[in-house]
Amino acid sequence: MDPRMSPESVMPESPAGEARLAARVWPAASAVWIDAAWERLAAKPEFSLRPRPWPALPVPDGRASRAGTPPRVVVFGISSDYGNGLLLHLLRLGCVPVALITSTRLHHSADATLFAHAAAALDVPYLALADVNAPEALERLRALQPDVFLVFSFDQIFEPRMLALPRRGCVNFHPSLLPRFRGPEPLFWQVLLGERESGLTAHLMSERIDAGPILGQVRVPVQADDTAGRLARRVVLAAEPLLADVLRMCAAGELGGMPPELAHGSYQRSARSTALEWRRPATELERLVRAGRPDAPAHLVWRGARYDVLSCRVVPGAGTPGVVLAVTKEGAVVATGEQCLLLAEVATLRVESAEGGTLGLRVGDDLAGSSEGEPRDGLPPPRVR
């Protein structure tokens, strides 16, 4: 991908030598289906890493050709925007998976998802597994005679028997520059901690999470106003060359890699919605709001109702942390531990407990007292593991 391309552009054509490989593999109607699915996804301004329903598109006629002896690829993923985007990249590169696998461990829907629709539309086997390490699941996967597992955001840990099943290994695609930001939701932490560079890492999977040999990386700058969702979108847009490289490695049987220096890395836990701690500097709280969009929005509590804070900005001023200093057409200005935060966009989760479904804030109102007892661990330092 041309690094000068606008991050808000739709997906470019494949690199030279690989342009429109899908046209040689998929029937014309299937290629149109894949492109239509990508256009629908790419139109989103933010990408989520949580499962999302997907509307069905008309099912094309025809069956893909597996010319020659390509590697037998099995794709694992939950149908998040992130997982969907990587799957569509793979299909556009002309890869015909022998199966698509999704997880129902956390009661994710297995039906109204892009993975399910793609399997039906492209005539690819589809398995929904609550436990990929269970004996019956291993038998079903072994019967596929896989060469490689490609993992695009999956919520189950592969045990040693699972890791050993494909002939050439298991490759995970992780949205950070490993070994930094190992763990389940790295984009949240990269925005929260003010990182200037993100990216995507392809690595061989090992028993230790996000710790296997690195096959390749693509780098993506973090913009000053990025939400986790906007950053996720740009990471996915930049992913195609890395996927193409991994497919070439699979075909050549050359899935080597460099072991990461874990001592120079970090591991962060799952993200969750966190109450704004008004004693923090406004710059930290503003990053927390951006990091939480769209999957783990920061929130405040006022008059018994919880409100997700969707956008804000840092403004000058000083006062007692949590106290409303001004209310304007742009929003409420709240004092923090350093400068002030203008709450520009706030959504309610329980409008019945708020007056008229709005915050109804006035100068002098104290938001700090209303949020007592809420989760307040949104800004811990990164940990080395």
Confidence of residue 45 (pLDDT cuts 50, 70, 90): very high
Q: CA-to-CA distance for 206 and 259, rounded, in angstroms?
A: 11
Predicted local confidence at residue 111, as pLDDT: 80
Pair 146, 260 in one domain: yes
Contacts of 10 (CB under 8 A, 6+ apart): 38, 39, 42
249 is a domain residue: yes
pLDDT at position 335 over 50: yes
Among 55, 44, 53, 108, residue whose Cα is nearest residue 294 = 44
- The pTM for the full model equals 0.88
Q: Lowest mean pLDDT: which of 21-35, 334-348, 366-380?
A: 366-380
Query: Is the bond preceding 179 in cis, omega lying within 30 degrees of 0?
Result: yes
Pair 53, 191 in one domain: yes
Question: Could you tell me the CA-to-CA distances from 138 to 4, 111, 170 in Å, in that order?
Answer: 44, 22, 14
CATH assignment at residue 344: 3.10.25.10
Helix (H, G, I), strand (E, B) or coil at 358: coil
The secondary structure of 7-56, three-state, reads CCCCCCCCCCCCCCCHHHHCCHHHHHHHHHHHHHHHCCCCCCCCCCCCCC
Domain boundary among 211, 236, 264: 264
More confident residue, 286 or 271: 286
What would the two tokens of residue 368 be? 């700090």
Predicted local confidence at residue 107, as pLDDT: 64
**Contact indicator for 79, 54 with CB cutoff of 8 Å:** yes
Pair 290, 240 in one domain: no
Pair 160, 70 in one domain: yes
171 strand-pairing partners: 150, 204
Q: CA-to-CA distance for 13 and 25, rounded, in angstroms?
A: 16
pLDDT at position 272 over 60: yes
pLDDT at position 268 over 50: yes
CATH assignment at residue 259: 3.40.50.170
385 is a domain residue: no
Helix (H, G, I), strand (E, B) or coil at 250: helix
Please give the tally of structural domains in the chain. Answer: 2
Predicted local confidence at residue 378, as pLDDT: 47
**Contact indicator for 267, 383 with CB cutoff of 8 Å:** yes
269 is a domain residue: no
Pair 234, 290 in one domain: no
**Contact indicator for 253, 168 with CB cutoff of 8 Å:** yes
Pair 287, 254 in one domain: no
Pair 206, 296 in one domain: no
Mean pLDDT for 173-180 is 98
Domain boundary among 264, 296, 312: 264
380 is a domain residue: no
Residue with token string 């003010």: 194
306 is a domain residue: yes
Which domain range does residue 342 map to? 282-370
Q: CA-to-CA distance for 279 and 134, rounded, in angstroms?
A: 48
13 is a domain residue: no
Pair 254, 301 in one domain: no
Pair 260, 287 in one domain: no
Angle between helices 114-122 and 28-42 (to 10 degrees): 170
Pair 225, 339 in one domain: no
Mean pLDDT for 262-280 is 92
Pair 249, 311 in one domain: no
Domain boundary among 201, 235, 264: 264
Residue count of the chain: 385
15 is a domain residue: no
270 is a domain residue: no
Confidence of residue 63 (pLDDT cuts 50, 70, 90): low
Pair 243, 309 in one domain: no
Q: What is the pLDDT of residues 85-110, one digit of tens each?
A: 999 999 999 999 999 999 998 766 77
